[in-house]
Amino acid sequence: MKLINPHVISEGGVQYPLGTLNGQCILYDFEKILVYLDAKGKLLFGKKFRIYEEDREVLFKLSNYQIRDWDMCKKLKIDLNKGLLLSGPVGCGKTSLMKLLRFITPHYQPYDVIPTRNIVFGFNHLGFKVMEQYGDHGFYCFDDLGVEPTGRHFGKDCNVMGEILLSRHELFTKTSGLNFKISKIVKTHATTNLNAQELEARYGNRVRSRMRELFNLVAFDKKTIDKRR
């Protein structure tokens, strides 16, 4: 169903305009996006949630990606055909922001945020059909990539997320190479606490190479505080 005013979002009886309509285009206002994200965050995660001033740079990149501002993303060196890999220290707010980000564009296909450990636990119980499930055409954000345990099904070890990323890359290559509309390109997002070297050690050079093609890297500062304390 097409939304009449996708730039105006209602939460708890309150309307949050994220910008203005100019014909069929939405002119987004970053400050209004922050107001909405703060309000939505409190609804989802509790009253203690807040948007931190030191996170503005990261949020600016994430927001411009999500609203598909081609000109700004070009300046920021973000490829809108790729997904997002949001990295940063433990507790900096990666998962919360990726859960929130999808709400600012209700007229776009949302992605599901799935903890990688849950995927591996599913593999251990159900086997390779779990890998097939997440290697499909769905839009996913794999949360806490790189810290999940090794999969084991009927005595056979498997680097579950490594195999899924290879499948996701194959789908991405097929859909992005067929001049599909951006909404039809199979996107993969992820969050991680690991750096590039640690990811390569976890998944190997082949997967790490595919990840460069799959993702735009958006990183928190290494000194970002643990907001859960």
**Span 100-125, pLDDT tens digits:** 999 999 989 899 999 999 999 999 99
Low-confidence winner among 6-20, 137-151, 169-183 (lowest mean pLDDT):
169-183
Q: Between 7 and 2, name the one with better pLDDT.
A: 7
13: left (phi over 0), alpha (psi -120 to 50) or beta: left
What is 102-128 written as a DSSP string? GGG-TTS---EEEEHHHHHHHHHHHTH
Low-confidence winner among 17-31, 34-48, 65-79 (lowest mean pLDDT):
17-31
How many Å apart are CA 109 and CA 117, to the nearest integer?
24
Q: What is the pLDDT of residue 104?
A: 96
Q: What is the pLDDT of residue 179?
A: 62
On average, the pLDDT of the chain sits at 92
Element holding 141 (H helix, E strand): strand 140-143
Q: What is the pLDDT of residue 15?
A: 95
**Span 195-218, pLDDT tens digits:** 999 999 999 999 999 999 999 999
Q: What is the pLDDT of residue 135?
A: 83
Q: What is the pLDDT of residue 90?
A: 93
Q: Between 182 and 130, name the one with better pLDDT.
A: 130
How many Å apart are CA 47 and CA 199, to the nearest integer?
34
Give the up-direction half-sphere exposure of residue 80: CA atoms within 13 A in the CB hemisphere.
18
Count of C-beta atoms within a 10 Å radius of residue 69: 19
Helix 205-214 / helix 160-176 crossing angle, nearest 10 deg: 40
Evaluate if residue 1 carries a pLDDT over 60: no
148-176 mean pLDDT: 91
Q: What is the pLDDT of residue 210?
A: 95
Structural domains of the chain, with CATH: 8-219 (3.40.50.300)
How many Å apart are CA 97 and CA 209, to the nearest integer?
26
How many Å apart are CA 157 and CA 164, to the nearest integer?
15
Above pLDDT 90, what percent of the chain?
76
Helix/strand/coil for 227: coil
The sign of the torsion formed by the CA atoms of 18, 21, 22, 25 equals positive
